Amino acid sequence: MVTDWIFQTQAERARAEADLLAQSGNSPRRMSRAEIKDLVQALGDITTVLRDADPADKSEVHRQLGLGLTYRPETQNGAR
């Protein structure tokens, strides 16, 4: 289920990036509120899918999205 979602999301992202590039004439620009809203709606209920996914699948989603995590315990609970 997660793998299917990954491939669908990658295809939608590639389509959206291609559309934005075509509209912008190859110069980068910020997305409008409407574009961001459309993108979030296209992704669907990702939080439910990821919450219920196998940990290895979650890891693969994070890897393919290029997400990383930096834990800094000294900044937790007001500690400095």
Domains of the chain by residue range:
2-66
- What DSSP designation does 25 have? T
Distance CA 26, CA 20 (A): 9
Classify 29 as helix, strand or coil. Answer: coil
pLDDT for residue 28: 61
Predicted confidence band of residue 45 (pLDDT cuts 50, 70, 90) = confident
Residues 6+ apart with CB under 8 A from 20: 29, 31, 35
- Confirm whether pTM is higher than 0.95: no
Mean pLDDT of the chain: 77
- pLDDT at position 80 over 80: no
Residue type, 24: S
Q: Which of 19-23, 53-57, 61-65, 76-80 has the highest mean pLDDT?
A: 53-57
What integer pLDDT is reported at residue 24 of this predicted model?
63
